[in-house]
Amino acid sequence: MSAHAQPSLSPEEYLEIERAAEFRSEYYNGCMYAMSGASYNHVLITLNLGGELRAALKNKPCTAGATDLRVRVSPRGLYTYPDIVVICGEPKFEKDTLLNPTLVLEILSPSTEAYDRGFKSQQYRKIESLHEYALVSQTEPRLEVFRRQPTGGWLLSEFTGLDAVCCFDSLNCEIPLAEIYAKITFPSDAPIR
């Protein structure tokens, strides 16, 4: 989130402003936060992963959406735009805001990694319908998938290296990291495992 916040907005006021805005903003606890743009690698990874998910889900009761689908975490809490969202079953909306994601994926950026790993992850875990939350690196071929356990806790699985295959249990599908990172140029000091 950016440090430039508009104080004391209700969720309804935020949504009214957001629907008319040229640029996207997140909302949390009465404040609206402008979102920054994405790098070339971020966009390419999002498209690659979205395309792979679309193909994997073609004959399943799940749908993937990317970047512009707003998700409400809680009625008075966070409204945000995950990089990729998957909905299984019938999507539930409050007007144009998704309420029931099954899987949320965030492509990590240097400016948002701490936020995505910390606050945002904590908020996403409050969504009752959410079964998995994934963090996708831009600097090396690595996905971290957090899975909700029957006990309510979350279990981390890591998939690293271009030969690895990421498993999304909630979707019953696997995606090779080589496809997610197709045409990505990693920094020269990145650990390509």
> Please, how many CA atoms are within 13 Å of residue 49, restricted to the half-sphere of its CB?
33
What CATH number did the domain enclosing 55 receive?
A: 3.90.1570.10
Q: Are 98 and 87 in contact (CB under 8 A)?
A: yes
Same domain for 12 and 103? no
Tell me which residue range forms the domain holding 101: 38-180
pLDDT value, residue 190: 54
Domain assignment of residue 89, yes or no? yes
Domain assignment of residue 190, yes or no? no
Q: How many residues does the chain have?
A: 193
Averaged pLDDT, 40-56: 95
With the C-alpha atoms ordered 2, 47, 129, 23, is the resulting torsion angle positive or negative?
positive
**What would the two tokens of residue 93 be?**
């909306």
Confidence band, pLDDT 50/70/90 cuts, at residue 4: low
**What would the two tokens of residue 102 be?**
């099954």
Q: Distances from the Cα of 22 to the Cαs of 12, 18, 56, in angstroms?
A: 18, 8, 33
Averaged pLDDT, 132-142: 96
Same domain for 31 and 46? no
pLDDT value, residue 7: 56
Lowest-pLDDT range, 33-37, 88-92, 104-108, 162-166? 33-37
Measure the CA–CA gap between 175 and 67, rounded to whole angstroms: 20
pLDDT value, residue 24: 85
Provide the number of structural domains found in the chain. 2
**What would the two tokens of residue 3 be?**
């440090």
Tens of pLDDT, residues 141-177: 999 999 999 999 999 999 999 999 999 999 999 999 9
Same domain for 102 and 71? yes
Domain assignment of residue 157, yes or no? yes
Same domain for 73 and 137? yes
Same domain for 111 and 18? no
With the C-alpha atoms ordered 17, 2, 8, 122, is the resulting torsion angle positive or negative?
positive
Alpha carbon distance, N-terminus to C-terminus of the chain: 31
Same domain for 7 and 90? no
Domain assignment of residue 70, yes or no? yes
Same domain for 55 and 120? yes
Same domain for 74 and 48? yes
The fraction of the chain above a pLDDT of 70, given in percent, is 94
Domain assignment of residue 11, yes or no? yes
